[in-house]
Amino acid sequence: MGLKEDFVTKARSEIGYIEGPGDNETKFQKIHAAWCGAFLNWCAKEIGFTKMPNLVYTPTGASAFQGKGAWSNPATAKPELGDIVFFDFPGGQKIDHVGVVVKDNLDGTIVTVEGNTSPDSKPAGNQSNGGEVCLKVRAYKADNKRKLPVYVAGFGRPKW
């Protein structure tokens, strides 16, 4: 396997991990703060990938990909395994969550692994600070076949 496959495998191996006992308390970081980006940085470190931009503050992570010409907008994106997907959920800051693409469903949706989100069994849960590592299906095209709302702000492609 290559680095991106190892990265996705590592992220998938953490599905079901729940923070705690305190809010935002995880093995992925020392501070108690929103941890979706820290989770992905931890996965990269675990597999020895040192070229991942710092994703702890998601807007800065997105800017790092944009500055390297490794960014694609949802309208023109062709998501691939290992792409970093950035989200902009209502009510939060611009680009307030991040995950990794596991699969493009070829219907305007993707399968992702995300840290610090809520599982689909808790649809009212907080999507950008939900406390669990989850496998999710997210839309990136407005005309997606599943009629899901689009919260994807863009994709960053690491240089694996």
CATH number of the domain residue 50 falls in: 3.90.1720.10
Number of independent structural domains in the chain? 1
Domain span at 40: 3-156
- Rounded CA-CA distance 22/44 in Å is 25
Residue 92's pLDDT is 74
Residue 93's pLDDT is 81
Instruction: Encode burial over 122-151: b for 16+ CB neighbours within 10 A, e otherwise.
Output: eeeebbbbbbbbbbbbbbbbeebeeeeebb
Which tens digits make up the pLDDT trace of 90-124? 987 889 999 999 999 999 999 999 999 999 888 78
Residue 4's pLDDT is 97
84 pLDDT tier (thresholds 50, 70, 90): very high
82 pLDDT tier (thresholds 50, 70, 90): very high
Instruction: Encode burial over 45-83: b for 16+ CB neighbours within 10 A, e otherwise.
Output: eebebeebbebbebeebbebbeeeebbbebeebebebbb
- Rounded CA-CA distance 75/77 in Å is 6
**Cis status of the peptide bond prior to 158, with omega within 30 of 0:** no
Residue 31's pLDDT is 86
125 pLDDT tier (thresholds 50, 70, 90): confident
158 pLDDT tier (thresholds 50, 70, 90): very high
